[in-house]
Amino acid sequence: MFPCKCILICLLFTLFISLNCNAAPYNVSHLEATKKEVCMKELGCFSITDDFKSLLHRPINVLPHDRITINTRCLLYTKQNPKEAHHLIASDRESIEEAPLNPEHPVKFIVHGFMDSELYGPWMLAMKDEFLVNGDYNVIIVDWSGGNKPPYYQATANTRVVGAEVALMVQTLEKYKGIKREDCHIIGHSLGSHIAGYAGARLKTLGRITGCDPAEPYFQNMPPSVRLDPTDADFIDVIHSDATDIMFIGFGMSHQVGHVDFYPNSGRNQPGCKTDKFKSFITQGLNEGSRRFVSCNHQRSLDFMHHTINYKKRTPVGYECTDWKDFLDGKCAECGKDTKRCAIMGIRADEYKPLRNTSVQHSMYLKTSGKIPFWLYHYQVMVKLFKPRTLHKDVTGTFDVTLFGSKGDELFHAQEESINLYHGARYQYLVTTEKELGEIKSVSLVWTSSSKNPINIIRKPKLYVEYIAVIPMNVIEPTPRNMTDRVFCGKPDNPIPTKTIATFHRDNKCLKYL
């Protein structure tokens, strides 16, 4: 079984993120293989130091290719020149001074990863267009397709040079055009995320890096000097979308590498990817279809970033939580007193202020759908049971809750598996929907007993419900939240028989019970 798995992995990596099973460097002469260091004009020297060596996590290390081979190109687009790129060349002062770049506007660098390019990866041009619709930006697409081909270990070595090229470009634009590196934002995908990290490490005061599913092979479990880490920019936000271990064919990192790391859908299997693998051949052509077929989960981080730039209707707020299960169980819906326990994924992530300029790292969770624009309305539903003074029995069962809003209503199976329901206890749930419900006006609850006691056929079990609270989670609010108009009172003296609909209405009298 193991040889078959190895062959399968190698074939997949050859298509997208090849680790290559060869034991020796690819197409490298004996003289080149024995070199300890390679130096490049303007960029400095690159050597294989001890921090880059790991028998398990980085088994093959080679020096990067030369600058001509890698051929890093920086292509500038602006609102005034949205379709025709201006080629920026750091060593050509004229190309810099004549560039239609406005130093008063923020600079966005877009950097691709392994086996990608400006032409092959339409996502870069699409993201560029989104930014130019959004506002006045200087958008620079970084194409390093000369150095990102198999074998994968050689491409990882070349990322160090590309990072140095990006840093040099920022310094050159700073010198001749007056931009500020604090206003520069690098969006990198896969290997591009680590390129951004290398650039930021050189610049020291780079404004922001967004890592879209940073590549795992050769980077995870490696020291910060080898990979993206929180010291590489003033603010680093990361979207994990394919964080399955590489042995199970996952391409992205699972470890935290930013100030704020978002894990939509646990950062692993993304909704819609099973069907998208086949549909994309029809809807997006052979190139994009091939990309999606091999790496839909890996690409989804780019989809998420893209659809936060101009989409305003729903806000994808992530919440800090111990793990994905606790988030799904509705245990994490508080932003905290200083709002540092929640953040907006995507373009607005930099609104997250509490942890800027620190090495503290937080993990944020949220759910998405599998359809554009992906965002869901999230609600925390709390059901508080009343403990009557008279003799009563606790019950077992499940909850169904219907939210009635000003724009629509929806039924949720809040508790699908039967649990013990103890009177006096409080139960929390996470429910999500694509439908816009508007302001929640009332709530109905149906509980279903799972008891198999024959006497319950005659005497139906009853549940005493004190109140239901419904908290919208697509907004950032300090804790404690304002619960006015979010609490729906029950009638504790009127217990609810099993399979009976009970409706709860807003009443501020319930607030005293919270």
**Residues annotated as catalytic (active site), given as ranges:** 190, 213, 298
Burial class (CB in 10 A: 0-12, 13-18, 19+), 10: middle
**Cβ proximity of 137 and 110 under 8 Å:** no
Nearest-angstrom CA–CA distance, 505 and 445: 11
Nearby residues of 185 by Cβ (< 8 Å), 6 or more positions away: 106, 107, 108, 109, 207, 208, 209, 210
Q: What kind and span of H or E run contains 455?
A: helix 455-458
**Cβ proximity of 474 and 377 under 8 Å:** yes
Distances (CA, A) of 433 to 90, 122, 214, 442: 49, 30, 29, 17
Structure tokens, 187: 């969006």
Nearest-angstrom CA–CA distance, 296 and 280: 10
Sign of the Cα pseudo-torsion (26, 31, 37, 40, in order)? negative
Sign of the Cα pseudo-torsion (210, 212, 213, 216, in order)? negative
Nearest-angstrom CA–CA distance, 346 and 318: 10
Q: What kind and span of H or E run contains 10?
A: helix 2-12
**Cβ proximity of 368 and 304 under 8 Å:** yes
**Cβ proximity of 492 and 465 under 8 Å:** yes
Helix axes 191-203, 152-176, angle to 10 degrees: 40
Nearest to 498 by CA among 445, 443, 431, 429: 445
Torsion of CA 317, 319, 470, 370, to 10 degrees: 50
Structure tokens, 476: 């950032």
Nearest-angstrom CA–CA distance, 181 and 335: 31
Buried b (16+ CB within 10 A) or exposed e, 359-379: eebbbbbbbbbeeebbbbbbb
